[in-house]
Amino acid sequence: MKTSDWKQESEKLWDSMATSWNSRSKGMWEEGSRKDIVSFIKKFVSPGSAICDLGCGDGVGSRKLAEAGYVITGIDVSEEMLEKARQGAINCDFIKAHLADNGIQDNTFEAVMAINSIEWTDSPYDSLKEVARILKPDGFACIAILGPTAAPRKNSFRRLYGEEVFCNTIMPWELEKMAGENGWKKVGEYGVFKKAAEQLSLGSLPLELQQSLSFMWVFMFQVQK
């Protein structure tokens, strides 16, 4: 599929999901899988810093960051999502753009947040290069990807039949390797697990096994350039 076609079809997909996503996203950020992300970012990024929320969706995460004292630019391919994001947002600017080609000037942000969005692009590698481009030297990139046990992995299954899919499945160890090969330094990480996995003694397991059991894996990289 051509990139131009991908953008159009991706926009249609997320436009169609905007209402259902909006009904669930607040719960994700307040008591669900994303509840610890803002506090994780605060460990590395000083309040007042400019952060780009790549794939901001309906903007709940952007607003949480703004409430924590950051200046936020949210980017998403879906206008339907962005309309919901703009409602009641303070210290947030929302822009319609593609993650891998967003038009922002080089070296603009102290940090980038991309939560379950890099893998929903036609080229995760190009998206990572775009993250590096818009970050200031030694800026931070908080990137979360769905783990092996996440149900949305079903979205990539049809690739086995040679069909075009919108979820370019990435395993946590693959993202870490690709980031390292492009000069990024991992400075923090944590896993989010389903309840059944939480009953295990996860801390005693090697990192690779922890990642294999994860619902979502959250990285903090420092982008050195």
pLDDT for 3? 56
Residue 60 lies in a domain: yes
- The CATH number for 88's domain is 3.40.50.150
**What residues make up the domain containing 37?**
3-147+173-188+217-223
H helical segments located in 103-194: 124-134, 172-181
Residue 196 lies in a domain: no
CA angle 74, 80, 82 (to 5 degrees): 15
Residue pLDDT, tens place only, 202-214: 888 999 999 999 9
Asked whether residue 1 carries a pLDDT value surpassing 80, the answer given is no
Torsion of CA 127, 149, 213, 220, to 10 degrees: 20
Residue 63 lies in a domain: yes
Q: How many domains, in total, are found in the chain? A: 1
Residue 106 lies in a domain: yes
User: What distance in Å separates the CA atoms of residue 141 and residue 37, rounded to the nearest whole number?
Assistant: 12
At position 196, the amino acid (one-letter code) is A
The overall average pLDDT reported for the chain is: 92
3-class SS of residue 103? coil
Residue 139 lies in a domain: yes
Residue 163 lies in a domain: no
User: What distance in Å separates the CA atoms of residue 38 and residue 54, rounded to the nearest whole number?
Assistant: 15
